[in-house]
Amino acid sequence: MLFNSIVFLIFFTVTFFLFYFLNGTGRKILLFIASSIFYMWFIPVYVLILYLTILIDYFSAIGIENSTSSKAKKRHLLTGVINTCLVLFVFKYYNFFIDNYNFLGSGHLKHWQVILPIGLSFHVFQSLSYVIEVYRGNIKAEKNLLVYSNFVMMFPQLVAGPIERANNLLPQLKKCDHKIQYSDFMIGFSRFIWGLFKKVVVADTASIYVDAVYNNYTHHSGPTLILATLLFAVQIYCDFSGYSDMAIGVARMLGFRFKENFALPYFSKSITEFWRRWHISLSSWLRDYLYISFGGSRKGKFRTYINLMLTMLIGGLWHGASWNFVIWGGLNGLYLSVEKALGVVVANPRNFLIKLAKSALVFILICFTWVFFRAATFSQANVIIHKMLLDHQWSHFNPLNTNMLTSVFASIGIMLLTEYAVLRKKSFDSIYSLKRGGLLLAASSVLFFLYIILFGNSEGGQFIYFQF
């Protein structure tokens, strides 16, 4: 079920009014049923996989808390982590393993013809973080299976995040008897419309050009491929941050607070800062449960570089069972290691030109990695990069559809002005707190909704991160 669909509008309207009039246990049951229906809309039987991972980590966490010895606690932790990761491996990485095994000439094993369960990596990471936090003694194991199930599968963030932490979301789900305030609904609704604008108007329109060029990359020159890559950077940001905005908005309308997942990442002055602003819930997960577990920066410079590379390589593999994603993660790990070696610090220089130059450099470096993220194969990425670097025949530049490009750039301009000039200084909450702030949010939502109706791509596909 897509946020940008009529079906979801009907689904959420019914869910919202039922949730509003119910209380306590009734709301918890409703959330579980609604989340199950939301997930089953894709492939119904796959909800059983979701239930399986929930049961594995639910009982593992209780086992950890009830154990008296560190050895027993570790055994329950490993039971949860290994079995949950095994589910992820079977459905996401088995065929990748088979491909590499066969390529090395060790056998002729056949693929398992299976469709990847939507959002599997997201709810696996959310579930794992809960078990690890219980093991570390930072939180108590949740004894109510219904509450824990809603923590893992709450429908706004179920298939593409943000990856919520137990210490933030579980306390909100335990009581579930809060009164839905008008301010929450207004702020959440405005946030949802803003995310919808980024998805339908910017991302889905940019994807038309990106897909046309990347799907026929051998017929295009370097300048055309450069523009397509720049637009893909915009597309993936607006697609993913747009989903996060909508997820945060939907939860807020129901009275729940999710953590922020993006903070204007393309305005970063370093790669380190970029990864503190991009997909914050994942980058912080990788930092807390991989990088720090590997030793972080506590064991010398060389070990720090190794830890950064390992963390980002695994982060790349998390995105997809492909060497392209591993290379993408490796490049980001290399960037971070070089910055660490050069002593680059996250700072905000006062000089505007220096700010602009640093942000431009970071954007270019990130766009280079996006080639591997977008390309279907390594050979395709290799050809595209070769053309981008050496094939500078501007006479062969192909705008494809100038009207579409004009619409894309106009929408990007509106998006940048809104995010940088308005949201950089004030959040939706702080805007609402202004005098007549509610009216301002309502008026802007109406304007963006009209823009969506007039210029949105009604044929846009599902969100990019659903495949992860």
Q: With left for phi above 0 and alpha for psi between -120 and 50, is residue 462 left, alpha or beta?
A: beta
User: What's the pLDDT at 215?
Assistant: 93
Q: How far apart are CA 314 and CA 97, in angstroms?
A: 15
CB atoms within 10 A of CB 274: 23
Per-residue pLDDT band at 393 (split at 50, 70, 90): confident
User: What's the pLDDT at 93?
Assistant: 87
Q: How far apart are CA 207 and CA 236, in angstroms?
A: 9
User: What's the pLDDT at 97?
Assistant: 85
178 is catalytic: no
User: What's the pLDDT at 331?
Assistant: 97
pLDDT, tens digit, for every residue of 280-302? Answer: 999 999 999 999 999 988 888 89
Q: 28-32, 121-125, 187-191 — which is least confidently predicted?
A: 121-125
Candidates 277, 238, 236, 239; CA nearest to 260 is 277
pLDDT, tens digit, for every residue of 306-365? Answer: 999 999 999 999 998 899 999 999 999 999 999 998 887 777 777 888 889 999 999 999
Best-predicted range by mean pLDDT among 60-64, 68-72, 118-122, 402-406? 60-64
Please provide residue 144's backbone torsions phi and psi, each rounded to the nearest 5 degrees.
Answer: -85, 110
Q: 60-64, 118-122, 138-142, 349-353 — which is least confidently predicted?
A: 349-353
Q: Tell me the CA distances in angstroms from 301 to 236, 295, 341, one per residue in order.
A: 33, 11, 8
pLDDT, tens digit, for every residue of 141-155? Answer: 999 999 999 999 999
pLDDT, tens digit, for every residue of 186-239? Answer: 999 999 999 999 999 999 999 999 999 999 999 899 999 999 999 999 999 999
pLDDT, tens digit, for every residue of 152-172? Answer: 999 999 988 799 999 999 999
User: What's the pLDDT at 466?
Assistant: 64
**Cβ proximity of 248 and 261 under 8 Å:** yes
Does 468 score more than 70 pLDDT? no
Candidates 427, 120, 117, 414; CA nearest to 248 is 427
**Catalytic residue, candidates 219, 319, 392, 396:** 319
Domain positions in the chain are: 6-178, 183-269+348-467
**Cβ proximity of 266 and 237 under 8 Å:** yes
User: What's the pLDDT at 435?
Assistant: 86
pTM for this prediction: 0.92
Mean pLDDT of all residues belonging to the chain: 91
